[in-house]
Amino acid sequence: MNKTRVAFICVHNSCRSQIAEALGKLYGADVFESFSAGTHLKDRINPDAVRIMKQLYGIDMEQTQRPKLLEDIPPMDVVITMGCNVECPYLPCKRREDWGLFDPTGKSDDEFMKIIKEIEAKIKNLQRELSID
């Protein structure tokens, strides 16, 4: 059986969506494949996100991920937008939701950790939901 493909979408694909992709791979790999992409690219993943994910989970996102555009990912079953307060482009999918996450870019480590923990909780919930479907 093929695993469900989940895309985490954010404008620049440099922070929240990258964190969600990494945590999706960590907590959901038995149930779904994780991807992330954006409509515009930054040249790299947010360095604070990279540093804090290494501290909290031992995940080096710079070694396993890169910023990608929507056209760089395969067709998806589930599309999750991060809450960028912009009109997200349409991607065909069976399920769509918006997580409404605050962007911690330029904020304190505490703000990053709050968002990372919120993403972790949402990933674990998604994993439970998709394992039931």
pLDDT band at 1 (very low <50, low <70, confident <90, very high): low
Element of type H or E holding 121? helix 109-132
pLDDT at residue 127 above 90?
Answer: yes
Q: What is the pLDDT of residues 63-112, one digit of tens each?
A: 999 999 999 999 999 999 998 666 666 788 999 999 999 999 999 999 99
Name beta bridge partners: 97.
Answer: 80
Instruction: Look at the chain and report how many structural domains it folds into.
Output: 1
Q: How far is CA 106 from CA 18, 82, 102, 103, in A?
A: 16, 17, 12, 9
Supply the CATH number for residue 96's domain.
3.40.50.2300
Torsion on CA atoms 17, 55, 42, 87, rounded to nearest 10: 20
State the Cα–Cα distance between residues 29 and 109, nearest whole angstrom: 27
- What domain range includes position 87? 4-132
Top-confidence residue, 92 or 118: 118
pTM of the model: 0.95
How many CA atoms lie within 13 Å of 52's alpha carbon, on the beta-carbon side?
Answer: 23
